[in-house]
Amino acid sequence: SDLQKQEERGELLQPLIFVLLVLCSILLYFKVSLMDPGFVKPEEEVKEGEDKGQGVVIPQIPGDIKLRRCGYCLVKQPMRAKHCQLCQHCVRRYDHHCPWLENCVGERNHPLFIVYLSVQLVVLLWGGHVAWSGLYFEQSREWLQQNIFLLVSFFLIFIFTIVVLLLLVSHLYLISCNTTTWEFMSHHRISYLRHSELENPFDQGIILNLWRFFC
């Protein structure tokens, strides 16, 4: 049959990989949106060993900066945590609240968020290539009517690709500097950054920053 011939020629491999990437992006979306981003537990449940990851940088913070108690959920906030008004929780290493995920991006799901953006970018670039390859330009109304769906699809894919690419590049840059979107945008309002002698007291070099984040 034609299906068997296509399989023998390897023509089904690319569509199969594309479908698997789409499924992977969908699963990552639900994983990132449903998982705990790093909600701060009530004070009596927090163990001393949980903040060891920040212990290396704490000596660089001025000694008069103390951990503050959140006025909303009444827990003692670890360094770099922030209360999210939408989630009604304090989030460790808070980056931002993503409206597309309806969840915060924080200490626990930030690496998976980067993986999700990367997979989504590959899917969009691949889909854009497929949509573009199906277009054969002619200056006629009939051609426009026949290809309007492909044109609209390519236009939407192009917009989403630019958005995802900018998001991914900006996040990778911030990760390489060991800072978060919240810290980058609100540097002047955050006490442990405003009173620090260093512009970014958490920066330990690009390689170590990336290693600590992903590994």
In a domain, 78, yes or no: no
98 tagged catalytic: yes
Which residue range forms the structural domain that includes residue 164?
Answer: 1-34+108-177
User: Which parts of the chain sit beneath pLDDT 50?
Assistant: 44-46, 48-60, 62
């969840």: which residue's tokens?
103
Does residue 13 lie within any of the structural domains?
yes
In a domain, 211, yes or no: no
Q: Count the domains in the chain.
A: 1
| Catalytic residue selected from 84, 90, 98, 104 | 98
The verdict on residue 198 lying in a domain is no
Q: How far apart are CA 169 and CA 61, in angstroms?
A: 28
- Contact yes or no for 83/89 (Cβ under 8 A): yes
71 within domain boundaries: no
pLDDT value, residue 60: 45
Query: pTM of the entire structure?
Result: 0.81
Amino acid at residue number 170: S
Q: Give the separation between CA 199 and CA 78, rounded to whole angstroms.
A: 20
